[in-house]
């Protein structure tokens, strides 16, 4: 495919000034992918282990309750909340609200802070019990 030299090039990432709104947009895509891929693999593994008998399920539980399993579970929880808050932000943006720079920046920061706080609130009592 050849480029028409009469048309301007689209600005590259180095042109834009990075801000929280750009980070949240990228995080929205990344967390959606993580939830679909990692969450899907974990869910299928759980179903297969459940159907395969006690030994397979014990292996699944051993991995799921290992330190790496906890990190993955906490990461997936954060991904879920980040994706959810970012989706709510996008829903509000779709109504035409929140495009002012200060409002957009505040909402973007709120999605990142909110997802982290809610994840901590969910996992604090779980970790405290163990």
Helix axes 20-52, 67-94, angle to 10 degrees: 130
3-state helix, strand, coil in the chain (%, to 5): 80, 0, 20
* CA–CA dist 42, 34 (Å, integer): 11
* CA–CA dist 49, 42 (Å, integer): 10
To the question of whether residue 130 is assigned a binding role by annotation, the answer is: no
* CA–CA dist 79, 32 (Å, integer): 7
Q: What residues are designated binding site for heme?
A: 83
Q: What residues are designated binding site?
A: 83
């Amino acid at each position: 495919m050849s480029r028409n030299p009469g048309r301007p090039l689209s600005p590259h990432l180095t042109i834009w000034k990075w801000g929280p709104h750009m980070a949240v947009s990228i995080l929205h895509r990344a967390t959606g992918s993580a939830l679909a891929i990692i969450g899907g693999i974990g869910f299928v593994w759980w179903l297969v282990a459940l159907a395969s008998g006690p030994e397979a399920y014990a292996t699944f539980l051993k991995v799921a309750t290992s330190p790496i399993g906890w990190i993955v579970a906490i990461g997936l929880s954060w991904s879920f909340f980040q994706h959810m808050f970012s989706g709510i932000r996008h829903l509000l943006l779709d109504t035409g609200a929140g495009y002012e720079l200060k409002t957009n920046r505040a909402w973007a920061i709120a999605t990142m802070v909110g997802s982290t706080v809610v994840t901590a609130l969910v996992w604090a009592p779980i970790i405290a019990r163990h």
